[in-house]
Amino acid sequence: MRRVQASERRDPARTEPQPPPPDGILWDVVGEVRQLLILPAALTLQVAHPAVGAGVGEHSVFRTDPWGRGERSMNSFLTWVYGGEDALAEGRRLRALHKHIQGVDAHGRRYHALTPAYYAWVHATGFPTYRHAQRYLGRRPYTDAEERQLYAEWLQVGRVLGIADRDMPSSTEEFWPYWRRMLAEEIEPTKVVGELTALNTDIPPPPYGPRAVRRALAAVWPLLLPGFARFRRFMTIGLMPPEAREALRLPWTPRQERRLRRLGRVLAHTLPLLPERFRYLPYARRAREARRRPAQGAADPARRPRAGRPR
């Protein structure tokens, strides 16, 4: 525990890590509404590590408050990318939040949430998921140069989260051997993976909107829930890299692949045509608007949430 506490102390002489640049790839893609389809696949990959799965299973409220838990994860993620100085504060908040999360995994091995290898895995899952999702939800796959840029920006986000460079592969060339080793030696279909890919029928209705809308949604939710559960499972498994699906023994058929490709083509060619106020989540949209206003150049690009590039 002493090493964790020492790593939390800030050295004023050391240059603070910087969030990814506004002219980079992450500023273009992280805040888009397509992100809502991508995030579940990355979260499922995270909990496929036995230590991470045990920590989430024992300490998270995702079962009792799935919408609130998802919203907080999304807001945190957006802050890492668009938050300016708030990104660093959010990174420190998350490390403090995880400082006391520890226990024993399903294999009887002790874990601590801030163990560097575990914390790095949680962050690492985002890169292959974004790369794979781009093949469906974008108009074309990333080029090799764009993949390298995406990974470099992903490393910047990792530094914001307090992940040391030595704990992450330093390049895409180093990442893929690490990825294959993790899938072969560490990753497994944990209990939480099973829960996140199940056709759950106990998900409560979304608690958003005016009271009248919430009441109406609650009334029809029993009719909507089976279709929502099928769609969530379909997107979670489909946007997971194929080698990860295989490692987790998740089923995926040629028919499902064709359906996902058709849906992806529709989204890839229609969403970029929408105005930004419809295409980007509010926090990201405010950051992008502030960035375009020179008079506010010295201010943070966005405030914390309230709770070309390939397209």
* pLDDT tens sequence across 134-150: 999 999 999 999 999 99
Q: Confidence class of residue 310 from pLDDT cuts 50, 70 and 90?
A: low
Which pLDDT score is estimated for 14? 56
**Torsions phi, psi for 112 (to 5 deg):** -135, 135
Tens digits of per-residue pLDDT, 64-105?
899 999 999 999 999 999 999 899 999 999 999 999 999 999
pTM: 0.86
3-state secondary structure of 307: coil
The band of 7, judged by pLDDT with boundaries at 50, 70 and 90, is: very low
What pLDDT, on a 0 to 100 scale, did the predictor assign at position 200?
Answer: 82
Q: Is the model more confident about 4 or about 201? A: 201
Q: How far is 77 from 304, CA to CA, in rounded Å?
A: 11
Confidence band (pLDDT; 50, 70, 90) for 16?
Answer: confident
Q: Give residue-wise pLDDT tens across range 281-307.
A: 999 999 999 988 864 444 454 554 544
Tell me the pLDDT tens digit for each residue of 109-142: 999 999 999 999 999 999 999 999 999 999 999 9
Residue 293: what pLDDT?
Answer: 81
Q: What are the residue ranges spanned by the domains of the chain?
A: 16-291
Rounded CA separation 39/122 (Å): 12
Residue 297, both tokens: 């150049």
Give the model confidence (pLDDT) of 239-268 as tens digits. 999 999 999 999 999 999 999 999 999 999
Residues 280, 32: contact at Cβ < 8 Å? yes
Q: Say what angle helices 85-98 and 144-160 make with each other, to 10 degrees.
A: 70
Tokens of 258: 């064709």
Q: What is the mean pLDDT of residues 163-175?
A: 96
Burial of 114 by CB count in 10 Å (0-12 exposed, 13-18 middle, 19+ buried)?
A: buried
- Whether residue 201 is predicted with pLDDT greater than 90 in this model: the reply is no
pLDDT at 12 over 70: no
And the tokens for 253?
Answer: 């058929």
Q: Percent of the chain beyond pLDDT 90?
A: 81
